[in-house]
Every structure is written in C-alpha cells, then in structure tokens.
Chains A and B, each alone.
Chain A
C-alpha cells in the first residue's frame, strides 16, 4: 500500500512552530533594542576600564605621552612607598573607627527613636538631614567652623576656658575630625535603615518572648538583634565600602595634610594619576584597593551565608 502523498503545504504543527520562532525572533530584537543603551554605557564604562586599568598598572604612563611597559614595577614600588604605606594605615584607622561607631551608634539611636516619644519625627529628621548634604559642602562648612583663627569652634572653646585647638592643621587631630564629620553625616543613614528593619521584627515573636518572661534586655539580645543580623551585615559591608572610598571630604578640607595625616587611599590614587601624572602607578594602587574590597565582600558573603543558615536552624 502506498504511503500518504507528500503534502504540498507544511503541516499545521510546522506552521505553528515557524510562527512561534518568528515571534521569538521579533521579541529578541525588541529586547536587544531595549537593553542596548544600558549595556553600551554600563559595560562600556566598567568592563573596558577594568581591563584598561589592569594594563595601565603594568605601564609607566602620564596620560599624555605614550607610556611603556614596566611589568610589576609599579606594584613593587608601591610595596616600598612610605606614602602608600601611610595612606593604607590612615585608611584602615579611619575605617576601623568609622564603621563600628556608625553601626553601634546607629543601632542605639534607632532603638531609642523606635519608641513612642513625642517629637520623635523631628528628631529623626534632624539626625538624617546631614546625610543629603554633599561632602563638598560638609567640608567647606567644617573647614570654616574649625578654622583655627576665625572658626566658631575655637570661639566656643575660648568661652569655655579651653585653649584653642589646631583642628585640621594638627596632624594628631585631623584624621579623627574626618571620622567625626562623616559620623555626623552618615549616622542618619544607619538609623534610617535600622528603623526600617525594626518595623519588620515579627510582633508575635516579641509577644511570645514577653509571655515567656523575657525582660527588655533579653528581648533585645535574643529576639531583636538576631532578626536584625542581615541588616547589620549589609550595613557593615556598605559602610566599609564607603569608608574605603572617602575622597571629596579630604579634598575639600585637608588635601591629605598635614604631613600626610589624612591621605586616604583614594586621595593617594587621585594624587598619583591627576597631580603627579603617574597614572600607571595610581592604577596599580587602585587595583590593590579593588582587590582588598573584593576580599572583604567575599568574606562577608561567606559570613552572611553561614549566619543565615544558623538562623534558619534556630527557628526550625
């Protein structure tokens, strides 16, 4: 028996398949049109520069005349550069002070401001407002307030009978003043983030703990703080990244001085690349910073994973 005649037209199934494929292709084209501006800008100005920066760090380059390949010389020079060593030490000191202080004080303030007190909205606003003030404006303002001659700070100290201070001109004080100023402006961020997180502490959990006879301290220690852990980890990461990248404030207030006391690592990079015109050297320093940031982020990621697993185990 002969088989069925070969059809002149495509089967129903085949037709549907083709229409689907055509629709897919059209959708794919539209999608690419939608994402291409973002891809062009974002990848063009991040992936390309990351590779370029690495190549630059192996070169002696002044950004104007053609550079030459020097291999690992920049990194070797960095390891022996006392100014780079000082910048790293300053940055670590700054970070080690700013991050824990901003988080502990931010949490404490958030716990207080989470209570039902009169004027609590006003307090929250006043503490948050400095956050929106640019670092340039902060720097200008505090350079003025802390001016050894004309500043209001010395004037107040004078009235209190304290001898006038050097502030930013004193190498022993300058770095700590920077920490204080960034605490003034950055604390509000931690408070706001913690306040938002405190809203999400499950009420049944608190009530259950109360019924079990938990006091205020136990409630904080065993219910509130554990539920805030993910937020705290986020804040540590966020504040650390910010602390390692401080530049604007330094540029406006001290320009890294006095005697390099406030040269933080980003200021060092900028100085090398755009002031001393040793861009390759600056790029090498930037790579060291980036690797450090990456290690911190990876470490926290691991810690976060372990922490969340531990918490899951506790609630099960």
Chain B
C-alpha cells in the first residue's frame, strides 16, 4: 500500500495557512516520509492525477472559480478539511458580507480616490471568475469532514490533525491547540 496522498488548495485566503503547514519545523522531514503530495501549490501539481486521501482547503469561496475548485476537491478527496478561519467562516474577506456587492465593487473600481478617471471600470473579462454575492464558508457549499480553526491554525494543530487522520485516531485537542487568531 502506498503512502497516504494529500492535496491542498488556497481559495479566498492569504496563504497563511499553507505557511503554517510549512512551519512544522523538522517534522516536515517526517511529513515527507509519511505522505505523498498531489495537487497543491506546494509541489505545483495543477490537476489531480490520482485519488486523494486528505484534501486541505484554505480560504472561503468568494468567486465562481473557488466554488469549482472546492467541488473538484470534494470529488477527488476522501476526507476534506477546512483549514483556518477563512475556510471555516469566510474570515477577513467576509468583512464585505454586510455590504451589498454592487457597493463594494463601485467603491473598489469606480469611486476609490486612487483610481485614475480613465481606469474607472468594474472588471468584466470572460477569463475572470465571477464574484459571488458574499463570501461563503466551504461547508455551506460541500460536505466538509473536519475543521481546523485559527488564523492561521498553529503548526501543532495542523500536525496533530494530519497525523491523527493518517493514523485513523481521534484528534487530541489540548487547550493550546484551539485558537481563532
């Protein structure tokens, strides 16, 4: 039997959760022994090439592409994990959720003092993903199997969760591991 396969993605996030994943210090050597990475910005594999055991999602869904990527992950991963505040509740991008989308776009692209008059245009290119009415947490769009809170989640929490999932044991959550900031 091969090593468990892991895939990761960053949707509407800042890559901080990926940074935290890489912040597990010397345990990263053990991680490389333990698992194999598939689709992920870490190894730059762009498409799924095999069935994946554990998918780690950073960021919530703020546009149509995020939704497609998330659904693609759900199809290809046995276990899907929301990593960090943005995946779990939208995070900072969701600060816009109380403001009508039209107002957000107009403020950003039409009315902002830093925009030159000739550049005043709400982007409208068919290659761009379409922005959603609000930022959605991942579990409102697909089934999510586990949640790792934090901004970012600590390296220790990510390590504990990964090893627990690989070993098929329940998470051991000490007080220090669960933090939302």
Q: Are A and B subunits of one complex?
A: no
Seen from chain A, the residues whose Cβ lies within 8 Å of a Cβ on chain B are none
